[in-house]
Amino acid sequence: MSHLVAAAAVTAATHLMRAGQWTAATDLLTAVQTDDPAERAELALALAEVAVDQDFGHQTDHTPAALAAAEDAAEDAADAVLNGSWDLSMLKFRKDYSIALSQSGDRDLRERALTLIEEAPDEARRGTARFWAGVMADNVYERPAEAVEHYEAALELGEKCDDELLMAQALRHLGHHAHTAGDLALARMQWERSTELLQKVGHLRPTLAQQAALAVLLRDEGDAAGSRALATEVNRWAGQLGIPFIVQETAELMA
């Protein structure tokens, strides 16, 4: 089996994952067979990413087994998979961050985030680490100024690397801070741009979350009917995907 086939399977699975088709993405990656240790490690890492994304959206727990398999595959591949060790650490951080959102206790996230930033092998990955350090500072440690600093750095690196997903994520969270500060015009500009970029890369779950935020903004701008209409459509989508936190938020806006 050639590296091209493994790489193509990973690319296709990434698109399925972003579309909320986690089971199809997992089935595709699992179906690919190879004797090449580097390819097995690449596929296992992709399976772990699908698990992390699914667990965050569905509040399930597929990640531990997938991460263990990715670690085993990485050991077999030795140094054959470029940047694989950092990518695996990033996935572990993302999983532990999602756990920290619902469970008390310090899981050493701050030091790990700094290490990921310092050891990032390229600027795109450094931007990703800055973004996740931002959401950690925001939602786990309640340090908004620190979070904004990370988001701004992530946005700058995303623009520099032409990483549209990273740009979308940073703008989405910067928009939340603008909204909290009462700057509805800036929040709208950042959230609309974030929505466009998320739609462009085909990442459905955060697109729906972003549109739910726009429904909140419509309400705050005085357009109650528009807010309810948008929330209703997002609620329908989120219900089909089975994403409970978006369903709950939009249901409240529809009331």
Distance CA 163, CA 150 (A): 16
Confidence band for 114, pLDDT divided at 50, 70 and 90? very high
Q: What is the mean pLDDT of residues 149-163?
A: 98
What is the pLDDT at residue 108? 86
pTM attached to this predicted model:
0.92
Distance CA 89, CA 120 (A): 11
Q: What is the mean pLDDT of residues 196-205?
A: 97
Measure CA 87 to chain center.
13
Phi-psi region of 74 (alpha: psi -120 to 50; beta: other; left: phi over 0): alpha
Assign 35 to helix, strand or coil: coil
Domain positions in the chain: 1-90, 203-255
CA separation, residue 1 to residues 9, 14, 114, 140, 173 (Å):
12, 20, 38, 44, 42
Q: What angle do CA 46, 51, 55 make, to 5 degrees?
A: 150
What is the pLDDT at residue 202? 96
Q: Where are the alpha helices (DSSP H) in the chain?
A: 3-18, 22-31, 37-58, 63-77, 84-102, 109-119, 123-139, 144-161, 164-180, 184-201, 204-220, 224-241, 244-254
What digits encode the pLDDT tens for the residues 26-45? 999 999 999 889 899 999 99
Distance CA 233, CA 20 (A): 17
Calculate the CA dihedral of residues 143, 144, 150, 154 and round it to 10 degrees: 140
Residue type, 38: A
Q: Among candidates 199, 154, 152, which has minimal Cα distance to 177?
A: 152
What digits encode the pLDDT tens for the residues 55-77? 998 888 999 999 999 999 988 77
What is the pLDDT at residue 1? 43
Contact between 58 and 239 under an 8 Å Cβ cutoff? The reply is no
